[in-house]
């Protein structure tokens, strides 16, 4: 069992008790399974509730009574108390918040609940996007469904099963369907498992390119509008494709796929459907070659490359990039950022809602859980906020970290916090050797 959150857990326990007292929404029934809170677990799923049924049918049998939530509190003595016992700094610092899932399944559930708290009279999303956790290209492409007006966060299934965390989050989110989702409560992408008892729309395809093209058709059907831009990412190198997810969620620009030296027919057909839409190729020549770029250029309204030499620099280049209405153009302080591990590509889809809500910001990557990459350190230094006399009138940076300490270590989190901290300009307070 993971380490308890110590005294911090009592506040969360109050939240759990309040959730257990909440009546179900009209027309919905929920079965609440055993709940447990342990360690610095994922934001929003510190307490999980296993769903037995979600149905609009009043004749359905009511679920069995659920056992009470179990919360363990550990009080550390003065001799063995450590910051981690309270969940800090591993859970949050002044300028960072960690979504501490052990895997993308937990991260997606946490982010969905963080962006759609679905309590206190606040409605949840109309629908969710369901993706199998093994299909990272589908997860990145399906991030476009988080963009307005659809606003469908992502949850993961796993090998034909619906994990408990996913079922729990789905129960709490209680999607009702709506005009923006065509009345559907869930979109099943690719090999995603059927959660049962919700109105779903399936999006099928035999490979990454065809699934991405089908998601683009779904987006167009739901929104009734042409995209302003298209992002073409690598179908072979997931770390180079990951940054596309946040942008798709923000602006509703579809993500399509190319191989290193060729472009699949499904992608070319999708580009031709949007013949007046410019394409942006994400990644260096070693990932998507000039030959492939020329094919994309001919099939679209022009193609332009955005890329860096490695996944970390590629994500930074995309965060900095600006071309008219395309690109984050994050080159100054006062922004939200999201940081994920380059070897957990499904986390890009899980994190996508954070790029289009709250503090809004691009997805950055680290390729080393234990060490902050020099390029990322330099970028955060460029964005470091400052003030002259009144910090309450300053702008601030905030960074979401995806995954537990195996994905991004607590030491790296502390460095990111320091690099994101507000400093007084000219006071000497921020003069330090940042290496």
Tens-place pLDDT, residues 231-277? 999 999 999 999 999 999 999 999 999 999 999 999 999 999 999 99
Q: What value does the mean pLDDT take over residues 222-229? A: 97
Contact of 130 with 155, CB cutoff 8 Å: yes
pLDDT at residue 56, rounded to an integer: 36
pLDDT at residue 130, rounded to an integer: 98
For 367, list phi and psi in degrees, rounded to 5: -105, 10
pLDDT at residue 85, rounded to an integer: 56
pLDDT band at residue 87 using 50, 70 and 90 as cut-offs? confident
Instruction: Please give the share of the chain, as a percent, with pLDDT higher than 90.
Output: 75
**Does 121 fall in a domain?**
yes
Q: What is the pTM of this model?
A: 0.81
**Does 88 fall in a domain?**
no
Res. 49: pLDDT tops 90:
no
Measured CA to CA, the distance from residue 155 to residue 166 in angstroms comes to 6
**Does 79 fall in a domain?**
no
pLDDT band at residue 432 using 50, 70 and 90 as cut-offs? very low
pLDDT at residue 223, rounded to an integer: 97
Residue of higher predicted confidence among 358 and 9: 358
Tens-place pLDDT, residues 133-146? 999 999 999 999 99
Measured CA to CA, the distance from residue 20 to residue 71 in angstroms comes to 13
Contact of 128 with 51, CB cutoff 8 Å: no
Q: Radius of gyration of the chain from Cα atoms?
A: 22
Q: What value does the mean pLDDT take over residues 160-175? A: 96
pLDDT at residue 1, rounded to an integer: 39
Residue range of the domain that includes 395: 96-424
pLDDT band at residue 89 using 50, 70 and 90 as cut-offs? confident
pLDDT at residue 43, rounded to an integer: 52
**Does 226 fall in a domain?**
yes
Res. 284: pLDDT tops 50:
yes
**Does 419 fall in a domain?**
yes
The distance between the two most distant Cα atoms of the chain, rounded to a whole number of Å, is 69
**Does 114 fall in a domain?**
yes
Q: Please count the structural domains in the chain.
A: 1
**Does 318 fall in a domain?**
yes
Tens-place pLDDT, residues 13-34? 344 334 433 333 333 323 323 2
Res. 407: pLDDT tops 50:
yes
pLDDT band at residue 98 using 50, 70 and 90 as cut-offs? very high
**Does 286 fall in a domain?**
yes
């Amino acid at each position: 069992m993971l380490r308890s959150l110590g005294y911090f857990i009592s506040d969360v326990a109050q939240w759990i008790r309040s959730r257990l007292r909440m009546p179900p929404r009209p027309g919905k029934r929920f079965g609440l399974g055993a709940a447990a809170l342990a360690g610095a677990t994922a934001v929003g799923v510190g307490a999980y509730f296993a769903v037995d049924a979600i149905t609009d049918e009043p004749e359905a049998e009511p679920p069995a009574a659920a056992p009470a939530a179990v919360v363990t509190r550990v009080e550390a003595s003065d001799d063995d108390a450590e910051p981690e016992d309270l969940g800090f700094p591993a859970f949050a610092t002044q300028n960072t918040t960690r979504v501490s899932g052990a895997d993308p399944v937990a991260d997606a559930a946490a982010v969905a609940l963080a962006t759609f708290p679905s309590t206190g009279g606040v409605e949840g999303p109309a629908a969710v996007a369901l993706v199998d956790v093994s299909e990272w290209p589908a997860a990145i492409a399906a991030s476009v469904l988080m963009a307005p007006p659809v606003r469908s966060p992502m949850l993961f299934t796993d090998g034909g099963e619906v994990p408990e965390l996913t079922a729990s989050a789905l129960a709490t989110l209680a999607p009702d369907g709506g005009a923006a989702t065509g009345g559907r409560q869930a979109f099943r992408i690719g090999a995603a498992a059927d959660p049962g008892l919700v109105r779903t729309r399936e999006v099928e395809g035999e490979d990454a390119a065809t699934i991405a093209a089908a998601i683009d058709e779904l987006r167009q059907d739901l929104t009734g509008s042409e995209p302003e831009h298209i992002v073409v990412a690598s179908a072979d190198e997931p770390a180079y494709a990951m940054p596309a997810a946040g942008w798709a969620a923000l602006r509703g620009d579809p993500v399509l796929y190319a191989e290193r030296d060729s472009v699949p027919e499904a992608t070319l057909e999708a580009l031709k459907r949007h013949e007046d839409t410019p394409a942006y190729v994400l990644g260096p020549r070693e990932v998507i070659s000039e030959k492939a770029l020329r094919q994309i250029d001919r099939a679209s309204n022009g193609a332009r490359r955005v890329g860096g030499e490695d996944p970390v620099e590629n994500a930074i280049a995309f965060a900095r990039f600006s071309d008219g209405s395309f690109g984050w153009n994050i080159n100054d302080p006062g922004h939200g950022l999201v940081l994920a591990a380059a070897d957990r590509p499904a986390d890009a889809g899980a994190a996508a809602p954070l790029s289009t809500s709250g503090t809004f910001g691009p997805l950055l990557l680290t390729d080393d859980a234990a060490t902050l990459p020099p390029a990322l350190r330099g970028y955060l230094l460029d964005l470091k906020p400052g003030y002259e006399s009144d910090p309450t009138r300053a702008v601030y940076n905030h960074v979401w970290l995806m995954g537990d300490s195996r994905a991004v270590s607590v030491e790296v989190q502390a460095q990111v916090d320091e690099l994101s901290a507000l400093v007084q300009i000219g006071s000497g307070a921020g003069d330090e050797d940042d290496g």
